Structure 1
């Protein structure tokens, strides 16, 4: 097998649609893999769509057509030789032409394409072209044929197999990319090639013996005897393929296999697996990957409540501390392995052990899963079907099944891949979002979730669990047991954000909460980089263009007003919104973790953003950490302390018992102790303890000036007795001492009165600065040292009121 990349020499030009004259005039150099947006950006022909109101200025892209062109030179095929043109990904509605003749038309960015060129090659340069037509217009025309189906947004994203959030989402831009978004190459081969290799690993109940099953499929050019040799470590097995046979498998037992564990439960050893395809003694094709030996399942045992939903890895129940993952950049082709690694590390650093690849994006890059394998991050993988009804008729049905088959095989080796999920909110939508009258009997996707995907996985990947949809109550008719019933399966909690308050979480005890969250703007530096100074205003058109949620700012302000004064001044409002997101995150995560083992999963919406936007992300579109990330890190820590009603809650998600003495105080803001006790704490490994506290601790003398504080092993929990707008905070409760330190500065903050949620918003001084902690509570006389990594030469700036923030200062802010 000889593989030759075809990434050089491409140009792209407009060939249809409302393209501005200055852009339509001539071709520009094209980067492959890439998209038209990135090529025109590189050529200086369009403004950055992430900045200001540029997104709105680029809506003409939606109905444009583009032609990628290059010239290749390749030797004509020899006798018995195959030459294939392989596109790993085309985004999306494409017509491929070779030497002036059509090779094929595509309409699915989630799969690859292969064209046989053996009878088309000739001496000399040969033109190769790919025309991309409007995916929007394709979808509009197709739905006229198959019937329009419900969806939450105007564009019919559910009528074309393109990344759904390409068409805009409540956190993402509406850019509708087009281009050769994955590698393209020529493959020359003789006799046969490895069409598919599917390694599946499990671990026996003894947790010592690994099982590797390797399925091989070949494409033949000759009807001869072949052998596929499989090697894992020192173990070798052969799969003989007699003339005419195109598939085979082997199973290898690996005694004393190194065991792969999720982060926080053990190590992540990866083992090389190689497959060599031989024709006699000649090696004609090969395949390499890494696997990890582990068993994984979901315990859905019925109980007196309903039924459990607990991940079990290597026999160990796992409390999932997860984050939802959306595309890390809307312009997907700008993502590198380094960017994936940095983003995933931010999840690991926040103590997460799972990422859910959400169904409105893509099957992610191999780099994503490789890094998750290495870091011990479990992956929940949605099939890319989200928030809409999907036709079960052609041509969509064949495309959805083809992409699923290809990607299940591609992702099979990864030990991090823990669960396949039918789609996002589609079953819920069918029951609750008034779809049924609109459908009028049209198909909506049920066959995929309940028949097609389970059958495909039973054939291709029986080693992993399958969930029909998030949320859903598996095993129950959704018309009888609601898909978002908190007693079964998975739940999404969006009533809190949309209509209630973050304290609304206390009304439900889900078995597993796979979506919940609270919004906040991006960090200050990211706002300043993406908006003009005059647009730093809640109501400016540019700011609102970067707030995609329906009524988003109203919900932000309503949420703030339940707890804090809503500042009129934008910079103070920005801090209040970020602080409220952090508190909402802490509250919801603490509620879920504190009710284990009834609840065994928390997947926050969301880790990341794909551009600069106000959203539910804890890391903004520039990769900067919001205050909510620090709240999540504390909430997802292996050991966590909190209060619930009149009790102390201690969560111990470590392999060792947690024992010690908790000092619990009801203190005044002036530092005086009103009541105090020592609580003997004893929490078994992977357990939760709830300790009732006496009325002397939980009944304040003055609700406006007292705080309940618990301390053990450097962990602290605090509980106030009134909302912030009623508390008698001292707005000037802090002093700061700033000194040079390795890599930047240390900022030692001392409290003269109770100070809540102290933060150093270091990016306001230096956009590259990172602080090690945030949201610290101090009693009078206590101090805390923050460490800021920075190259700034202005240390005093880190102690200014705009940078050294707390809840106390907001108490003095003027209401809106």
Structure 2
């Protein structure tokens, strides 16, 4: 039995370092005071947020306020609470009670009833204190956090790292310096039973029509210690497997309901499965059980887009004796999925390359991934609803894998549960990352000890999740510039041994990237898993670099863009609400120094005057270029399946509000245009154009590709070449047979712009099964410089034709908006966003090219916000209003 102490009344007080130990001045004998009074605190949480709620610091996410908060990490902080000897009807004074802190960040000493219970270092490994016989009628609990270690940020020396503290807090390109300190996970009392199950390990496999569930656990016998005398009966474990179940979130279900009919039918395929229940009882031998259960023709767990993520419940009951009706001493329950998992060599891979092709249930899976950062600098304040929204956004975009980055967190259990339930594979990195000056894994003894402790804990904690697909030693670890570490590195070899010992079946990659070269290059035969780049490489440089790459896997790359103006207004002061290069405004620089796009965007769309009236124009131009550049990378890699076996975009989210960054969704849960471009590029059947420049210089031929994750099909492609006014200059039809789970070149489209025509649109429509299954529009110009600037000669105009809003369960709203291009020229990224607060918006589609007179209907799900931390964004009800946007 566990009793949470997190909901107790907690208080917090700050001190100068060491003052709580000394208490009184040796010179005067006076009691040494704190730097704050006692203030209310939330557990789990973070010190900064408690200080903000108490009015002791300003919102660190507004303007440059985070600079004013850096004193917080240089103080010691004391939490205190009290509780009676009886909680939840249980007399704790008579129990064997273990106090468990699941996340102390970072160095702590714990006091119970004024006595020290010991010290702890490390934010991931739990700290346990045996309180048996120490609990009184009234009890005081104090936690002293001794500042934060001075660890490396993004720029530094990996070889000198010495902690297992999340490093992004110390300043990264997408974050500020705001180093968390506090109790970031649950605090509880565990009341020990007469015997208990622990060290659970569940794994599954599927072969020859049979599913296997492997279960092992320790069974610890405390009956003698509990006062019941000598053991009279041996222990046994009753195992029960029941299912299958679908546990997809209601948000995911609602969004799937908005899909096109064909997509909806495919998503629902196999949606009915007969229920099964299998039980057996096995004796405990040498303090443990190891058992395998078999199921005939089980419902399989599938990654998003490849079927449904069926789960089975596994229940274990620790009993006295093997006979039915034996007394149950302890029980555990866990959901798992049945699937096979392997890594295979990529097609045509160079000799010696690692395998990068994920094979699930015997089928190759093209990875359509995203990298995630922690959701907030104060990760203890992140709510389950925030995790749910992030995973829902992944599912909606067609993502099938998320990389949990080594400079961030080993996330909370609820995130991994959500990935299990919604079919998102996980690439889990251990807590190591590059530092720029050197990137060599640390060999400092204190670091290796903490890394081993944390990694053993992480593998044991996360191995039971069916979504966990691969471990990686860390982010961008290199033994020389541009040369990733391999398995021969001593630190990497230690992690591999931990995975083999405590997991045993999952793949392990030495680091991300891996292979001969770290970064993408034009050189042939050396790009295995590569990183880069993160910015637009110019016209035509961008298209030449990515269009000619022969990488096997692309686990990190991105494109930057300015955030939505609605978001900018929340954290930028009035004087900064204007277009600017990063060097032109210190507040912009503070919120995204590396990611200025002003000169890039002016170089494509023409000069943008730095006035407040042009902020929306700047944001729209910036977001268009992010989506254009990102689309090309995704399509250039995917058309080479399975020589290239996957892409992982940097990055889906951000831990604080950036004015400009490489994220697809901002801190306020507002999607950028690139989110919907990614959703289209990740669709199961996708049509794309292969080109090498945005500038059409005379007659130009371009290949047309179809990428397909599904069964083979026959179809046709209609290619429309149109002008800015919407006039159709040419139309071609390509007929094709598309192979199962692969890509094919369908033919070529040849375009010769009409004299005087400055902008040309090419729309590709893939038709199959009686419907348009993919639509993709590209914009080209005929100028060498400021290639898309003619778009701005005439203003565009989009109007709302129809709007409806209907209530769904849980306060959600189903929105439908029909928009029309009411102007004389085509517009880019015509779509909608929420005008107000309280909801997060995700759509089946958004941000499309719209030609004059054309109408399009968008369907959205408005999800009530339930955010923690400095946002505190809550939903107060009422129908949300939409605001149209376009370029």
Match of 2:147 among 126, 134, 152: 134
CA deviation vs aligned residue, 1:627-665 (integer Å, no higher than 9, x gap): 111111111112222211333433343423342232224
Match of 1:541 among 586, 603, 615: 586
* Cross-structure match for 1:777: 849
Unaligned runs of 5+ in 1: 140-148, 437-442, 807-816
Change (3 A) 1:758 1:184: closer
* Cross-structure match for 1:229: 238
- Tell me the SS of whatever aligns to 2:279: strand
Change (3 A) 1:303 1:194: same
How far apart, in 2, do the equivalents of 1:566 and 1:159 lie?
Answer: 48
Residue pairs, 1:433-452, within 5 angstroms: 446-449=489-492, 451-452=493-494
How far apart, in 1, do the equivalents of 2:160 and 2:114 lie?
Answer: 32
- Tell me the SS of whatever aligns to 1:592: helix
8 Å Cα contact 1:322/1:355 also seen in 2: yes
How far apart, in 1, do the equivalents of 2:393 and 2:34 lie?
Answer: 39
**1:253 matches 2:297:** no
* Cross-structure match for 2:531: 492
How far apart, in 2, do the equivalents of 1:89 and 1:769 lie?
Answer: 29
8 Å Cα contact 2:99/2:187 also seen in 1: yes
How far apart, in 1, do the equivalents of 2:591 and 2:311 lie?
Answer: 41
How far apart, in 1, do the equivalents of 2:71 and 2:281 lie?
Answer: 56
**1:68 matches 2:113:** no
Deviates more, 1:25-34 or 1:416-425: 25-34
How far apart, in 2, do the equivalents of 1:157 and 1:545 lie?
Answer: 26
Change (3 A) 1:756 1:309: farther
Change (3 A) 1:304 1:166: closer
Deviates more, 1:764-773 or 1:686-695: 764-773
8 Å Cα contact 2:158/2:434 also seen in 1: no
8 Å Cα contact 1:607/1:619 also seen in 2: yes
8 Å Cα contact 2:798/2:823 also seen in 1: no
1:741 shift after superposition: 2.0
- Tell me the SS of whatever aligns to 1:693: strand
* Cross-structure match for 2:103: 89
CA deviation vs aligned residue, 1:253-275 (integer Å, no higher than 9, x gap): 22222211111111111111112
- So what's the TM-score if we normalise by structure 1? 0.86
8 Å Cα contact 1:612/1:622 also seen in 2: yes
**1:32 matches 2:43:** yes
- Tell me the SS of whatever aligns to 1:268: coil
Change (3 A) 1:46 1:106: same
CA deviation vs aligned residue, 1:422-459 (integer Å, no higher than 9, x gap): 111013xx3217999xxxxxx9993232x222212222
CA deviation vs aligned residue, 1:668-701 (integer Å, no higher than 9, x gap): 4444544432211221222212133264x35765
Name the Cα RMSD after superposition: 3.6
Residue pairs, 1:423-434, within 5 angstroms: 423-427=474-478, 430-432=479-481
1:55 shift after superposition: 0.6
- Tell me the SS of whatever aligns to 1:211: strand
1:781 shift after superposition: 5.0
* Cross-structure match for 2:655: 610
1:78 shift after superposition: 7.9
- Tell me the SS of whatever aligns to 1:8: coil
- Tell me the SS of whatever aligns to 2:182: coil
* Cross-structure match for 2:395: 348
1:416 shift after superposition: 1.2
- Tell me the SS of whatever aligns to 1:39: helix
Residue pairs, 1:397-476, within 5 angstroms: 397-427=448-478, 430-432=479-481, 446-449=489-492, 451-473=493-515
Change (3 A) 1:122 1:780: closer
- Tell me the SS of whatever aligns to 1:395: helix
Change (3 A) 1:319 1:463: same
How far apart, in 1, do the equivalents of 2:237 and 2:665 lie?
Answer: 45
Residue pairs, 1:263-302, within 5 angstroms: 263-280=304-321, 281-300=326-345
* Cross-structure match for 2:27: none
**1:509 matches 2:550:** yes
How far apart, in 1, do the equivalents of 2:154 and 2:829 lie?
Answer: 42
* Cross-structure match for 2:645: 600
* Cross-structure match for 1:367: 414
8 Å Cα contact 2:534/2:560 also seen in 1: no
Match of 2:712 among 628, 632, 657: 657
* Cross-structure match for 1:165: 168
8 Å Cα contact 1:164/1:361 also seen in 2: yes
CA deviation vs aligned residue, 1:586-626 (integer Å, no higher than 9, x gap): 11111111221211101101111111112111100000111
Change (3 A) 1:78 1:630: closer
8 Å Cα contact 2:193/2:329 also seen in 1: yes
8 Å Cα contact 2:70/2:178 also seen in 1: yes
1:705 shift after superposition: 4.2
CA deviation vs aligned residue, 1:537-582 (integer Å, no higher than 9, x gap): 4333222211143xx32xx234324532241235122222122111
Deviates more, 1:578-587 or 1:761-770: 761-770
* Cross-structure match for 1:210: 211
